[in-house]
Amino acid sequence: MGNDWDIAISSLSKIKVFSNPNNEPVTIIGEADDLKCIGVGTDAAVFQSLSAPAYAFKLYAEDKRNKVKIEANVYQVLGDSPFFSTCFASYDEFLVLSYEEGITLFDCILQGVHIPEQVVKDVEAARKYVRNKGLNPRDIHLKNILLQNGRAKILDISEYIRAGNDNRWEYLKKGYEQYYHLIDGDSVPFWLVETIRKWYNLWGKKSSSYEEFTKLIFNRLYKKIDK
């Protein structure tokens, strides 16, 4: 007996995903009429099938396929949780996940959509839940959090088996607490959000503290705008 999502597999075979250096988003080659790309990351792209809209298919770059089984195992350990998608199956190149409605916090910032404090509380609760499962909640950032009916839904859990803290969420949480009221309801230019993202990848992980990183950001922005 087949699965509901089998109808999308032949279409997925027409798509290839390739990773790029410097933590840049993947490149997608090929197309299929019944597939819609709904997300692009640094390791994979996510598609929704018009023929099986209840599912999301996370297709990994060819050199990142080892992460498919890793992420599937993480979903298995996490079990049923309101904070995360459901993983129905894993194949050599992709995962079959529940399709989640919502808008990423990255797009909320760009579009001026209000991000309620409940989202921050949900992420904190999710991180505690992950730790209680013996995993490490890493790589939580604006593009990996959906605003879903006023609550948070976290995407991309592939790094939860890695050790160490990348400080992404801690920096975002402090930024929300200190500065979000200044931009709440306003559309922030893409170039600004993307510039800060790239600067974090270059210097944020090397900064000794959030205060040092924000000082660096303000200094760089002042010089960039002053030119």
The CATH number of the structural domain formed by 4-98 is 3.30.200.20
Model pLDDT for residues 100-112, shown as the tens digit of each residue: 999 999 999 999 9
The boundaries of every CATH 1.10.510.10 domain in the chain are: 101-188
By CB atoms closer than 10 A (0-12, 13-18, 19+), residue 223 is exposed
pTM of the model: 0.86
pLDDT (0 to 100) of residue 24: 86
The boundaries of every CATH 3.30.200.20 domain in the chain are: 4-98
Own/partner contacts of 16-22, CB < 8 Å, gap of 24 or more, are 16/62, 17/44, 17/45, 17/59, 17/60, 17/61, 17/62, 18/61, 18/62, 18/63, 19/43, 19/61, 19/62, 19/63, 19/64, 22/201
Name the least confident of 93-97, 205-209, 214-218: 205-209
Q: What's the mean pLDDT in 52-75? A: 95
Return the CATH fold of 101-188: Transferase(Phosphotransferase); domain 1 (1.10.510)
Q: What's the mean pLDDT in 110-123? A: 97
- Choose between 186 and 3: higher pLDDT: 186
Model pLDDT for residues 130-146, shown as the tens digit of each residue: 999 999 999 999 999 99
